[in-house]
A = this chain, B = another copy of it.
């Protein structure tokens, strides 16, 4: 039987808190396009989560939320700075270019998904020339693609020189809950100069939904029109907002992420293959050759090889210790 438990953190079902809120919100007639009370309540909870008086929108797709953020921060003849393995650079089929009309992406190196500050400084120091797309903003990801977590200070060290240039900052928080569970202080994001933040709902255990937090109010002008044109202003807004109520009201958002992170830790501890990146969130990346990966697949467990050559195992709110142990058993047989 095929096992997708560790293939990604979006292979899990939605958590009960999210589903219950969704079902509860499905009552009676209500106004559309995010003007309903469910959306208002969820937005309040997101504002409380980040302790900021920001604008909040709920959208269906993280890819779209990121690409719309890029388009809001960089013009077509400019570029976004991002880790060279960031999701927007490698896994979104060029969505920033579609939504951003050919906007450029400048990939920066850095170990374990964290941007190397010197590389960022070097990119910022490049002269503005007409034949190149010069940077207009920085895109960050926390937790990173390789399961590490930036500290507040580490992010501040990256955003400070960017803001000093007057450029924008986008934070892809597809796994923000895991970062929070890993020690990242969400209430201080507002001090980092972040203009647009995507709070991941889907990977945190919700039905498809993402919260887009607009810290820079100047960007919020006509944002609903921006979203509508992009196919991301849902008529039935409550379906995207309600899961956040269920997950934020009682802290399930971070609590579930902490469980996912613990499961990753458990898997790392019993992992017979070399672990290649620090396990600070919900992923474990290991050194495994093609033969062994094929054998793993043959045994029914799915896992993907990543751009850096590692094989990735992801945990989620729904990962059980038994499943971790069962996978560990299989891996040990293959090692």
Contacts and interface: CB of A to CB of B under 8 A. Distances in A.
A54 to B, nearest CB: 19
Nearest to A76: B98
A27 B13 contact: yes
Interface residue tally of chain A, by bracket? 35 or more
B225 A132 contact: yes
B225 A93 contact: yes
Contacts of A239: 14, 207-208
B76 A233 contact: no
Contact of A230 (B2, B98, B134, B240): B98
Contacts of A98: 76-77, 99, 101-102, 229-230
Given A94-B104, A222-B128, A11 B33 contact: no
A224 B93 CA distance: 10
Nearest to A9: B235
Contacts of A134: 222, 225
21 contacts: A4-B32, A33-B130, A60-B208, A61-B231, A63-B231, A63-B233, A64-B232, A76-B229, A78-B222, A79-B94, A92-B228, A92-B229, A93-B228, A93-B229, A94-B104, A95-B231, A97-B102, A101-B101, A101-B102, A128-B225, A130-B225
Interface of A: 2-5, 7-8, 10-14, 19, 22-23, 26-33, 60-61, 63-65, 67, 71, 75-79, 90-104, 128-134, 202, 207-208, 222, 224-236, 239-240, 302, 318
